[in-house]
């Protein structure tokens, strides 16, 4: 364990090239407002206050969460040096790709998965470029229920949702087990649709033969690609 006092991580700039898209958008809206009869300075202020500022706060919150995560890696992992990240092109690619998705969601579970993808890349968990792009596209498209079902199916016999329905003691078809475990969040039709999505993405094994049972081998529900995806979105700090 590295007990040396960590150097402070410099704050992410608030007003730099990364926010140029916001400034362009505001400029465009300002120009458009000038063409609308009756439009005034008040319209421009509304754009800045109720559209621009919330987006800036979301961006700052996202970068702050990444900075905190990198600091935790530095404090807890021997040999991890955040100074090397600026030269790590895969890390920079991952930050850029996940930032685009993070700016479009307020869902805490999705933001956590995106953050974990960045932190895993920071510590050297590498995936092929095409696979990384696929995983981030799935994070953008999937709901929080998709992500939670993937996490549950990665290790069902230790997940609270499955333990609560006695799934660690008796064999259950995967769909039936998940419908019972998530009945407060979704009905059978929704769970079935989510599972179909996951299978179409080649993340799940054949649901017709998969079952959750006390035997860990029988309960393996993910494909190798699915297992890789779960590793990519799981915290490296636990």
Tens place of pLDDT for every residue, the chain, 238 residues? 444 444 444 444 444 444 555 555 555 545 555 545 555 557 777 777 778 889 999 999 999 999 999 999 999 999 999 999 999 999 999 999 999 999 999 999 999 999 999 999 999 997 888 899 999 999 999 999 999 999 999 989 889 999 999 877 778 888 999 999 999 999 999 999 999 999 999 999 887 777 888 877 767 789 999 999 999 999 999 8
Cα–Cα dist 156/46, whole Å: 49
67: which 2 tokens? 């900075």
Q: Residue 35 has what pLDDT?
A: 47
Q: Residue 213 has what pLDDT?
A: 80
Residues 186/161, Cβ–Cβ less than 8 Å: no
Burial group, residue 117, by CB count within 10 angstroms (0-12, 13-18, 19+): buried
Assign residue 38 a region (left: φ > 0; alpha: ψ between -120 and 50; beta: otherwise): left
Residues 180/142, Cβ–Cβ less than 8 Å: no
Residues 116/236, Cβ–Cβ less than 8 Å: yes
Orientation angle between helical segments 108-122 and 89-102, nearest 10 degrees: 170
Burial group, residue 146, by CB count within 10 angstroms (0-12, 13-18, 19+): buried
> 187 in helix, strand or coil?
coil
Q: Residue 80 has what pLDDT?
A: 93
Q: Residue 166 has what pLDDT?
A: 85
């Amino acid at each position: 364990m590295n007990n040396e006092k960590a150097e402070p991580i410099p704050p992410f700039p608030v007003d730099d090239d990364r926010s140029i898209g916001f400034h362009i958008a505001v400029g465009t809206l300002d120009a458009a407002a000038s063409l609308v009869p009756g439009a005034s300075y008040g319209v421009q202020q509304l754009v800045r206050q109720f559209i621009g500022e919330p987006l800036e706060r979301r961006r700052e919150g996202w970068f702050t969460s990444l900075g905190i995560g990198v600091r935790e890696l530095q404090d807890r992992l021997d040999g991890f040096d955040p100074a090397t990240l600026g030269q790590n092109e895969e890390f920079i690619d991952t930050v850029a790709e996940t930032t685009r998705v993070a700016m479009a969601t307020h869902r805490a579970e999705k933001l956590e998965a995106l953050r974990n993808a960045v932190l895993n890349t920071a510590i050297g968990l590498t995936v092929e470029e095409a696979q990384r792009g696929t995983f981030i596209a799935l994070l953008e498209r999937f709901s929080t229920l998709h992500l939670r079902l993937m996490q549950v199916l990665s290790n069902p016999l230790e997940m609270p949702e499955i333990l609560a329905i006695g799934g660690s003691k008796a064999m259950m078809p995967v769909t039936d087990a998940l419908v019972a475990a998530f009945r407060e969040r979704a009905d059978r039709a929704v769970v079935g649709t989510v599972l179909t999505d996951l299978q179409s993405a080649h993340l799940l094994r054949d649901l017709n033969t998969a079952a959750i049972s006390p035997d860990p081998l029988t309960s393996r529900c993910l494909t190798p690609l699915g297992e890789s995806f779960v590793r990519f979105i799981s915290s490296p700090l636990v």
